[in-house]
Amino acid sequence: MLRSVFGKTVWERRRSMPWWIGGLGFLLIVTILSYPSFKDTQGLEDLFQNMEPMLAMFGVDSAADLFSPVGLINARMYESIGILVIGAFAISMGTAALAGEEDKGTMEMLLMQPISRRSIVLQKHAAMIVVLIVMNTFLVVVLFAGNPVLDSLLTVQGILAANVGATLVGFFFGSLALAIGGVTGKRGMTTGISAGYLAAAFFFNGIANIVDGLKWTQKLTPFHWFTRTDPLANGFPMGDFTVLLLAGVVLMAIGLWGFERRDVVV
């Protein structure tokens, strides 16, 4: 066994993490390389104008946005596929942190070590945060490297803000999974509820853009607080990011509370 729960958690991701990061990087690289084709194609813009109601579900206000670097990257990465992948990855880590250990029967080994339950939860959380930071740092590097292809229209502040926000979204979903796992200890329930909320939050955040009666549901999703002010274009929305951070911390506290008070089956 490695010397710390933190090290053990990071080490366990050594094989899967490159695939997650590589997939996100590939998506971003393809998006960047497709920009020169998009920006000079008037026919495509006319076509997408007829699809604006559907595009609104993905946070695209108008078809013209897709033909700017910020709009194209948001549509592919930070308001659709990319952010869903980050959320799913965080859920996988949050689920494995407690419920996964119990499901595999390895929690007994952890609890036999001279370490408190609180330390186990905090170290698991810290490992998840570090891995998410590594993942989004890679995306920052790709965006900086690809900025010349995008006519250097992305700002340093925008690139950093978008990826800090994406990290906070991952932190939220990972904390949600860890909280459910800490309270229930059931891997299937943890995965089901967390993934279900991920899908529902994405759906309602999008559909609310075209159904006024559902506008209020957006505030119940982390995606709203991430994309509301378009950080890739406008930089850091400190208030919105603070909401995401606090929500993740509250969920972490719930997971810690549940795990410390529950009889763990080993």
Residue 96 banded pLDDT, cuts 50, 70, 90: very high
CA dist 191 and 99 (Å) reads 9
Q: Read off the pLDDT of each residue in 204-211 and give the average, rounded to a whole number.
A: 82
CA dist 198 and 242 (Å) reads 20
Residue 89 banded pLDDT, cuts 50, 70, 90: very high
Tokens 């250990």 label which residue? Answer: 101
What rounded mean pLDDT belongs to the chain? 88
Burial readout 192-217 (b: 16 or more C-beta within 10 A, e: otherwise): ebbbebbeebbebbbebbeeeeeeeb
Q: Which residue has the higher pLDDT, 65 or 110?
A: 110
Amino acid sitting at position 72: L
Residue 76 banded pLDDT, cuts 50, 70, 90: confident
**Structure confidence by residue, pLDDT tens digits, 21-72:** 999 999 999 999 988 877 666 555 555 555 555 655 665 555 556 678 898 8
Helix, strand, or coil (residue 224): helix
Token pair of 94 as six digits: 């949050």
DSSP one-letter string for 104-147: HT-HHHHHTSS--HHHHHHHHHHHHHHHHHHHHHHHHHHHHHHT
**28 and 22 in contact (C-beta within 8 Å)?**
no
Burial readout 93-126 (b: 16 or more C-beta within 10 A, e: otherwise): bbbbbbbbbbbeeebeebeeeeeebeebbebbbe
List, in order, residues 6 or more apart from 178 with CB less than 8 Å away: 94, 95, 97, 98, 121, 124, 125, 128, 251, 252, 255
**pLDDT (0 to 100) of residue 95:** 96
**Structure confidence by residue, pLDDT tens digits, 222-253:** 999 999 999 999 999 999 999 999 999 999 99
CA dist 60 and 66 (Å) reads 7
**111 and 266 in contact (C-beta within 8 Å)?**
yes
**Structure confidence by residue, pLDDT tens digits, 120-164:** 999 999 999 999 999 999 999 999 999 999 988 999 999 999 999
Has residue 207 got a pLDDT over 70?
A: yes
Token pair of 37 as six digits: 């084709």
CA dist 249 and 11 (Å) reads 24
**pLDDT (0 to 100) of residue 164:** 97
CA dist 205 and 83 (Å) reads 13
**pLDDT (0 to 100) of residue 215:** 85
Helix, strand, or coil (residue 87): helix
**pLDDT (0 to 100) of residue 1:** 45
Alpha carbon distances (Å) from 57 to 14, 35, 87, 195, 203: 35, 21, 18, 19, 8
Pick from 56, 227, 153: which is nearest to 48 by CA? 56
- The CA-to-CA distance between both ends of the chain, in Å, stands at 18
Phi and psi at residue 167, to the nearest 5°: -65, -40
